[in-house]
Structure 1
Amino acid sequence: MFKWKGAAGVCINENNQLLMVLQAAPDEEPKWTVPSGGLEGNETFEKCCIREFEEETGLKVEVIAKLRDKNGLNEQYGIQFELQYFQVKVVSGELTVQDPDELILEIAWKSIDEIDQLEMSYPEDVDFLKGLMVS
C-alpha cells in the first residue's frame, strides 16, 4: 500500500472569497480545489503547504493555523493518504499560474455561493470550507 502525505492551504480574502485552483491531469476532467500537494524530501507539512501554494498560485503565504487532518484510503488506487489543511494569509506575490506539474488550469477567488456551483475535486470538503467563510 502506497502512503501519500500532503498539505493544503486555505486562503480567504477580505471580501470573504476562497482562493481556489482548477486542476486536471491530461486525461481528467477539470475540477476545483484549494492549493495542495505532496510532501517532498524531509519537508514539514507547513513547508509543503507554503511551497505548493506558491507553485500553484504565484503567491507567497504564511501559515496562520492548522485547520484539520484528513486521513483515508483510496482503495481504487491502493493509496493511504494523510492531508493536513492550514489557514494561510498572503504576504507577497502576484496571482499567476506557474505550476511546474502543469496541472493547474485556472486560479480564482470564489464566493461562498459560487462554491456550491463548482465541480469539486473533493466534494466532501465543501461544508468544511464554507464553514470557514463568514456568510
Structure 2
Amino acid sequence: MSNWKGAAGVCVNEKNEVLLVLQGAPGEEKKWTVPAGGMEGDETVEQCCVREFFDETGLSVQILEKLNTRTGEYEDSAVSFELTYFKVEVIGGEITLYDGDEWIADVAWKPISELEELELAYPDDALLIESLAVQ
C-alpha cells in the first residue's frame, strides 16, 4: 500500500471568515476546501503546510498550532493518507489566482456562518473550521 502524507492550513480572520480554495481535477466539478497538498522531498509537514498555502493562495503564513490529523484510505485504491491540519495566520502576500492552474478556480474568504451553504470537498472540515470561530 502506498502512503500519501500532506498538510492543510486553516486560516480564520477577525471577521470569522475562513480562507478557502475552489479546486478540483481538470474537467471535474470544483469544490471548496482549505489550502492543502502533499509533502515534497525532505520537507516536514509544517514546511508542506506553509508551501502549499502559498502555492494555492499567494499568501505567506505562519503556523500557530497543530489542530488534528485525518487518516484513512482512498476508496477503490491501495493508497492510505495522512493529512495534518494546522491553524495558520497570514503574515504577507496577497491573494493570487495563478493563470494556467487547472486545479484551482478561485480563492476567497468565506463567512464561517455560511459554510453549510457551500459545496465542500470534505464536509466534515466544517466542524473543525467552526471550532476556530472567534466568539
- Measured against the shorter chain, the TM-score band is over 0.9
Change in Cα spacing, 1:100 to 1:52, as seen in structure 2 (3 Å) is farther
CA RMSD between the two structures: 1.5
* Equivalent-residue separation in structure 2 for 1:123 and 1:100 (angstroms): 27
* Equivalent-residue separation in structure 1 for 2:90 and 2:99 (angstroms): 18
Q: Which residue of 2 aligns with 1:33?
A: 33
Q: Which residue of 2 aligns with 1:88?
A: 88
Kindly state the Cα deviation for residue 77 of structure 1 after the two structures are TM-superposed.
2.7
Kindly state the Cα deviation for residue 71 of structure 1 after the two structures are TM-superposed.
0.7
* Equivalent-residue separation in structure 2 for 1:37 and 1:97 (angstroms): 16
Q: Which residue of 2 aligns with 1:103?
A: 103
Q: Could you list the runs of 5+ residues in structure 1 that have no partner in the other structure?
A: none
User: Do 2:26 and 2:102's aligned partners in 1 also have CA atoms closer than 8 Å?
Assistant: no
Q: Could you list the runs of 5+ residues in structure 2 that have no partner in the other structure?
A: none
Normalised TM-score (structure 1): 0.94
* 1:70 pairs with 2:59: no
User: Do 1:6 and 1:82's aligned partners in 2 also have CA atoms closer than 8 Å?
Assistant: yes
* Equivalent-residue separation in structure 1 for 2:61 and 2:39 (angstroms): 17
User: Do 1:56 and 1:99's aligned partners in 2 also have CA atoms closer than 8 Å?
Assistant: no
Q: How does 1:10-29 map to 2 (within 5 A)?
A: 10-29=10-29
Q: Which residue of 2 aligns with 1:121?
A: 121
Kindly state the Cα deviation for residue 132 of structure 1 after the two structures are TM-superposed.
1.5
Q: Which residue of 2 aligns with 1:53?
A: 53
Kindly state the Cα deviation for residue 14 of structure 1 after the two structures are TM-superposed.
1.2
Size of the aligned set, in residue pairs, is: 135
The letter of the residue matching 2:30 is P
Percentage of identical aligned residues = 53
